[in-house]
Structure 1
């Protein structure tokens, strides 16, 4: 180390600054040759030295000022950045500690060499320089470790979050598979049950016709009713399968509720009159054109109306289309039918669930279809019902339904 006329700490600092490159190379040689710092072999000289010049400069400033506290902020920033880089470069904590300890050894050796070459540099000056250097390097080590541990913990939290999300999605998929399996079994049981009933009744009709030719008309009527019930079952299952399988983008268009109202009233008038029921219609004159998917809205209304007619033996069916608060409109169907008991109200919108007796034809899919279509149309579905007094179903839709984009469909 070259001689200098500057005495005390100032002379030491000047010498250290002059020898910075040589000291850095000495440290890097020690690190590359140390078996405890395995990951150093994967770094270039530039990557290894990264923040060392800044840390070296902070140590020199501390030795000049004899004050660590004034430089703590700058030292900590450089140390944290050093710890962050080392973590990203694959260092273990023990390797980070080891390379900084080697840096300490290089600096302390340089201080000892300077003291040996300069008799005017007192033992007290040397001891003070050693203690301050040791304090700064210890501070750098601690801050670097904290940052590396923080990076590790953040990465662990990130991986933990990913695992939790993956586990949650897996749980949902398992539940979906279980639900699909149960639905499949329900379909099998339901179809098998109805087919068995169909065959039994059809067999009874054939036996009646063969044993008593005079009752042939009665037998044919019985068979025809059973065929009609089976057709209803099949139609409901086909409609529900189409609703669930429709993954196309939802198209919307403006349409006049007046035309839809007249069409639905006309479609249901024959079936209500056939059962001796009164069909009452109400259309709000203040409701103008709405924007939605007209076909799906019609499906919702038809299913609610068909359901009301099916479960009402006397009285009336009310069908209403009206404006609703908050830029919305509503579709309402009420009846004076059998109603739904409190115990059954939680499950009536599920597939193959029926709150009425088994002698009424159907697969129990009508309200499930309404629920699915209402969700697709951003509708809010609610109902009120009392056993033996009838039911009221209401779906509130937005006046303008925003169509889905291709990006929304992939979410």
Structure 2
């Protein structure tokens, strides 16, 4: 390359730098007049100009060096940014290619204008200059397209991932709805079955009273027991509906455990001793006060004690409240009852499930209520059971239950 060639292309580069503003304005007018460039009409002057001044500066350096390589990295960086911005602005690939082609035409016109004004700028100079400009803008176009396609692919991948998550959530919701439907059907069948049995027995008792007046006392006792069983069923249903439907946060308060312990013993002892069972109760010394919800703790304990009483024919029921490590305390209820089979360890926590047969009164909601209450009290349920030998439930609660903000 001769010094005259280098100097001439240096002069062209200087000319393009001086004409940058007019070049950009003419290019923008061409873009505005092009019917195929829809998205460009929505952009401000600054948004439209974007990285073209930097790209033009890189082309000028390439003209001065007679080589694209020294500025290739800088032009690639600007082209990537240009493609990224155009993607965010909503450009299609064909619009991106079209506006860069219009920019190439403006540069070609500027080269021809410079050639007409400079006698030393020969056709060979013009050919070299246009080749470098074409090479640079082809590189810009290709890099910008790759960036747009990369952004599109990333967006598609993100949308696909979101769609897959939504589909999984939808399937889970459908499964839950299906389970809810089955649960409601089970509720209906269970209630109809139990209430029909109670009412049948109640009706038989009344008929016996009518037929044998002398046996009225015994008949009334049977009828009263049936009425109490129906009341227990309704009470369990009411308690469960309140527990699962309650949206209020826990009312956290200081709970006096000795006082709660006395209340539990007083409430549970009559029913336990009425079945000929023995109640063994113990509160660990020094465990005085915790932060929790007293009413819900009492519900948990009474449901466990009631459940243990139902399923124990002889022996004893044990209630123990003790410290469990540095940050927890435990409530343990053990019995010498029928026990729970290993295959039933999950089932017994479901609504309307029982560990024994239909001869045990109740709706099968005791442990379901315990599960929901423990969830709200951050209680960890642990239990061990052996068929025919009894069951032990131990629930570990935090010493200081933190309110949900």
Q: TM-score range by the shorter chain?
A: over 0.9
CA deviation after TM superposition for structure 1 residue 6, in Å: 9.3
Point out the more displaced range, 164-173 or 200-209: 164-173
- What does residue 148 of structure 1 align with? 148
Task: Name the stretch that deviates more: 357-366 or 75-84.
Answer: 75-84
Counterpart for residue 171 of structure 2: 171
CA–CA distance in 2 between the matches of 1:134 and 1:6?
19
**Contact 1:303–1:366, Cα closer than 8 Å, also in 2:** yes
Structure 2 residue 397 is the aligned partner of structure 1 residue 394: no
Give SS of 1:332's match: strand
8 A Cα contact 1:7 1:121, kept in partner: no
Structure 1 contact 233–362 (Cα < 8 Å) conserved: yes
Partner of 2:95: 95
Structure 1 counterpart of 2:201: 201
Which of 344-353 and 284-293 deviates more? 284-293
**1:288 to 1:141, Cα distance in 2 relative to 1, 3 A:** farther
Partner of 1:362: 362
User: CA, structure 1 residues 378+70, in 2 after alignment: closer, same or farther (shift >3 Å)?
Assistant: farther
Structure 1, unaligned stretches of length 5 or more? 406-411
Report the CA distance shift for 1:118/1:387 in structure 2 as closer, same or farther (over 3 A): same
> What's the TM-score once normalised by structure 1's chain length?
0.91
Deviates more, 1:327-336 or 1:196-205: 196-205
Q: How much does 1:385 deviate?
A: 0.9
In the TM superposition, residue 229 of structure 1 has moved relative to its aligned partner by 0.9
SS of residue paired to 1:109:
helix
Q: Are residue 11 (structure 1) and residue 7 (structure 2) matched?
A: no
CA RMSD of aligned residues (A): 2.2
Shift of 1:107: 1.7
Match of 2:190 in 1: 190
Counterpart of 1:35 in structure 2 is 35
Please tell me whether the aligned partners of residues 379 and 398 of structure 1 are also in contact (alpha carbons under 8 angstroms): yes
| 1:66 partnered with 2:66 | yes
Partner of 1:335: 335
The corresponding residue for 1:301 is 301
Structure 2 match to 1:409 = none
Q: Which residue of 2 aligns with 1:254?
A: 254
The separation in 2 between residues aligned to 1:72 and 1:260, in whole angstroms, is 80
**Higher alpha-carbon deviation: 176-185 or 49-58:** 176-185
Q: Is the 8 A contact 1:374 1:381 kept in 2?
A: yes
Alpha-carbon distance, 1:168 to partner:
3.7
Quick one: distance in 2 between partners of 1:73 and 1:131?
A: 19
8 Å contact 2:24–2:49 — kept in the other structure?
yes
Following the alignment from structure 2 to structure 1, what is the Cα–Cα distance between the partners of residues 19 and 103?
14
Contact 2:253–2:294 under 8 Å retained in 1 = yes
Deviates more, 1:17-26 or 1:334-343: 17-26
Could you say which residue in structure 1 is the equivalent of 2:77? 77
CA separation in 1, counterparts of 2:365 and 2:180? 15
Q: For the structure 1 residues 335 and 44, does the alpha-carbon distance in structure 2 shift closer, same or farther, using more than 3 Å as the test?
A: same
Residues 332-352 of structure 1 deviation map (CA, whole Å, 9 limit, x = unaligned): 111000111122222000000
Deviation of 1:216 after TM superposition, in Å, equals 2.6
Structure 2 equivalent of residue 281 of structure 1: 281
Q: Contact (CA 8 Å) 2:6, 2:64: kept in 1 or not? A: no
Residue 326 (structure 1) shift? 4.5
SS where residue 348 of structure 1 aligns?
helix
Cα distance in 2 for residues equivalent to 1:104 and 1:118: 21
8 A Cα contact 1:7 1:120, kept in partner: no
Deviates more, 1:121-130 or 1:322-331: 121-130
What CA distance in whole angstroms lies between the structure 2 residues aligned with 1:125 and 1:85? Answer: 34
Q: State the alpha-carbon separation in 1 of the partners of residues 209 and 43 from structure 2.
A: 95
Structure-2 separation of matches of 1:93 and 1:326: 64
In structure 1, how many angstroms separate the alpha carbons of the residues matched to 2:262 and 2:367?
Answer: 23
Deviation at residue 365 of structure 1 after TM alignment: 0.2
Deviations 1:100-137 (A, max 9, x none): 12212222333244345434334444333223222221
Moved over 6 A (4+): none
Q: Who is 2:375 aligned against?
A: 375
